[in-house]
Chains A and B, each alone.
Chain A
Amino acid sequence: MESRYNSAKNVFIDSIEIDDYIALDSSVASYKQLLHSIEKPLKMILVFGRPGTGKSILLNYLYENLKYQKDIHYFATPTTNEKEFFHKIFKVITKKDLPSNTRVNFSTLVDYCRDIHGKREIIILLDEAQMYSPEMMERIRLLSDTRSVKFIIALHKTDKEDLIAEEHFQSRIWEVVELNNGTLEDIKNYIHKKLLKKNIFEIANAIKNNHISLIYKFTKGNYRETNKLLFTVFEICEYYDNRDKDSKNENIFSKKIIEMASIKLGFINV
C-alpha cells in the first residue's frame, strides 16, 4: 500500500507545469502587470528575479493562457547554438521550416519582420535569457526594433545578469516585472494551496503556523527551495510511515522532520 505521504511528496516536485501554478496575491499581481505590459507598444519586457522566484512558471502560465488568443511562442530551454536558435526564430516568424544544412540570413529576417509590421504582432517568451551570448542578445534587440516581434525575457537576478540587463536593454526595455521571494503568508498559502489542489486535506491541516515559520526560516521564502524542502520532508515522512505501519493514524509531520530535511539539504550545518 502506498504511503499517504507519497502523493504529498509528488506535489512538490519542482516543475513549471501550468497545473502547478499557484495563484498567490503577489504572483497574480505580477501576472496582471505582465498582461498589461503586453498590451502596450513595448519592444521588450524584462521579467527579473532571483532563481526560484517563479519566473519560468509565470512565463509558462502566460503562454498557456494566451496561446489561443495571440501569436505567442515560448522558448523554455535556451538554445546556445546561434544557428539553431535562429532556425527556431525563423520558423516562428515565417511559419516555415528551414533545411538543417542552411543558415538564416539575419538581415533578410530583419527585412521580413519590417514587412510584417502592423500585420502581425509576434510575442516570443525567452526563459533563462542569461544563457544567451551577447551577440545573440544584440540580434534579439535588432529584431525587437522592427516592432513586429515583442520579446519577454526572463533573467536571473545576479550581479552578472544585472550587467547584461544594463548593457543590452537599458535603452530598449520599457517595462520590468520584478519577482521576489514570497512572504511568510505567501509561503503558507503556497504550501496549503498546493496540497489542497491535490485534495491532500489531512496533511495540509497538519502543517501549522510554527511549521511554516520554520520552513520560511530555512528557505527565506524562495519557492524552489520550499519545493525542495517539502519534497524531502515528505520523503522522510514516507520512510517513517512505511517503517512504522502500526501507527498509521499518527501524524509524522513535525518540526523534527523539517529540521532533518534541512540538514539533508544543507540549510542546517551540523
Chain B
Amino acid sequence: MYDVEALEKEWKRYRRKKLLPWLGIIIFTLLLIVYISNREKISEKIALYFNEKNKEYLVSKEKNETVIKDNQNSKNPQVTVNLINENNSSNSTRKSYKPMKIELSEDPNAPKEHERKYLEIIVTDKMHINKKSNDELETLEVVEKRYNQENNYEDALYLAQGYYKQEAYKKAQKWALISNNLNNSSEESWIIFAKSKARLGDYRAGEKILEAYLKENSSTKVEKLLKMMESGNF
C-alpha cells in the first residue's frame, strides 16, 4: 500500500493549482464590480493623485530653475503683495472695522526669471459641489443667506473654511477676502486665501501672501505653512 497521506497532500496541491485561475477571475470580477460601482470616486482619487504628482514635479522643477536663475540674476521677485487700506466706511455697515484688501499685482516690465509656469489644474466649483454631500452644501447655503442679511465676520470665515474643505477653492478665496475685509487681523482668512491660491496652482502667490502677512505679524502657524509651500510639501 502506498502512502495515501502523501497522495492527499499532493491532491491538495493539485486543487490549489486548479483553483488559482478561478481565484484570479473572481478577484478580477470583484475589482471590476467595485470599480463600476465607485467609478466616480475612484476616477476622482486617481485625478487627485496625479494632480499631486504634477504639483510635486512642477515644484521640484521650479526649485531647479530658481537655483539656475539665481546664479544669473539675483533681483527681487516680481510678484508682490500689496496690502491696500481702503476706506470703505461709507459702504460698510460695521464702521468700527478698517477693512483691508489683499491684492496681488505683478510688474509687467520686470524680468521674467522668477515667473513660474504652473500647470494650472482648475477644478470648477460646480464640479466639486456636485460631488459633496447635500447636507454640507445646504449648511453653507444657509450660512451664506444669513451672511447676506447680517454681514457677520464669523459667517464669512465659516464659509471660507467650508468651501475650502469642499475643495471649492475659488469660492474659498472669495470668502477669505470678505472675512478679511470684515476683520483685518484674522490670521485664518490670510491662511485660507493663501492656501486656496496654492490649491488653484498659484503657489508663488500663496507664498507671497504668507510672506506679506509675516512682515506685519508673527505666527508659527503661518511660518510653518510657508515652509511647507516653499519645500513643495503642500
B133 vs chain A, min Cβ distance (A): 52
Q: Tell whether A240 is near chain B: CB-to-CB under 8 Å.
A: yes
For the residues of B in contact with A, the DSSP-based class is: helix
| Chain A residues whose CB sits within 8 angstroms of the CB of B11 once the complex forms | 256, 259-260, 263, 270
Q: Is the interface of A mostly helix, strand, loop or mixed?
A: helix
Taken residue by residue from 171 to 183, chain A's Cβ proximity to chain B (1 for < 8 Å, 0 otherwise) reads as: 0000000000000
Contact B14 A268 (CB under 8 A): yes
* Contact string against B for A residues 220-258, beta-carbon threshold 8 Å, 1 for contact and 0 otherwise: 000000000000000110011000000000000000100
Q: Is A263's CB under 8 angstroms from B4's CB?
A: no
A270 near B17 (CB under 8 angstroms)? yes
Q: In the complex the two chains form, what is the Cα distance from A107 to B1 in whole Å? A: 54
Please tell me if B2 contacts chain A, counting CB pairs below 8 Å.
yes
Q: B52 interface residue, CB < 8 Å from A?
A: no
Whether B1 and A235, one on each chain, are in contact in the complex, defined by CB atoms closer than 8 angstroms, is yes
Interface check A264, CB cutoff 8 A:
yes
Cβ-defined contact, A263 with B1, below 8 A = no
Q: How far is the CA of A263 from the CA of B9 in the complex (A)?
A: 11
CA distance A17 to B101 in the complex (A): 110
- Residues of chain B within 8 A (CB-CB) of A259 are 11, 14-15
Chain B contact residues (Cβ within 8 angstroms of A): what range?
10 to 19
User: Distance (Å) between the CB of B13 and the closest chain A CB?
Assistant: 6
Q: Is the CB of A270 within 8 A of B1?
A: no
For A263, the chain B residues whose CB sits under 8 A away are 7, 10-11, 14
A260:B7 contact, CB within 8 angstroms: yes
Q: B150 interface residue, CB < 8 Å from A?
A: no
Cβ-closest chain B residue relative to A269? B14
Question: B7–A264 contact, CB under 8 A?
Answer: yes
A270 contact from B2, B4, B14, Cβ within 8 A: B14
CB-defined contacts of A236 to chain B, threshold 8 Å: 4, 7
Chain B's nearest CB lies how many Å from the CB of A167?
43
User: From residue A2, how far is it (CB to closest CB) to chain B in Å?
Assistant: 15
B86 at interface (Cβ–Cβ under 8 A)?
no
- B residues near A256, Cβ cutoff 8 Å: 11
Please, what's the 1-or-0 string for B189-215, where 1 marks a CB less than 8 Å from any CB in chain A? Answer: 000000000000000000000000000
Cα separation A240 to B7 with both chains bound (whole Å)? 12
Flag whether B138 is at the interface (Cβ < 8 A). Answer: no
Distance between A78 CB and nearest chain B CB, rounded to angstroms: 32
Distance in angstroms from B56 CB to nearest chain A CB is 49
B8 within 8 A of A: yes
Alpha-carbon gap, A236 to B17, bound state (A): 22
A264–B2 CB distance below 8 A? yes
Residues of B within 8 A of A240 (CB): 4
Q: How far is the CB of B38 from chain A (nearest CB, A)?
A: 39
Task: Name 11 interchain pairs, CB-CB below 8 A, sorted by A.
Answer: A236-B4, A236-B7, A239-B4, A240-B4, A259-B14, A259-B15, A260-B11, A264-B2, A264-B7, A268-B14, A270-B17
- Which 3 A-B residue pairings sit nearest by Cβ, starting from the closest? A239-B4, A270-B14, A260-B11
Q: A259-B14, A263-B14, A270-B10 are in contact. List 9 more A-B contacts (CB 8 A).
A: A256-B11, A259-B11, A260-B7, A263-B10, A263-B11, A264-B2, A264-B7, A268-B14, A270-B13
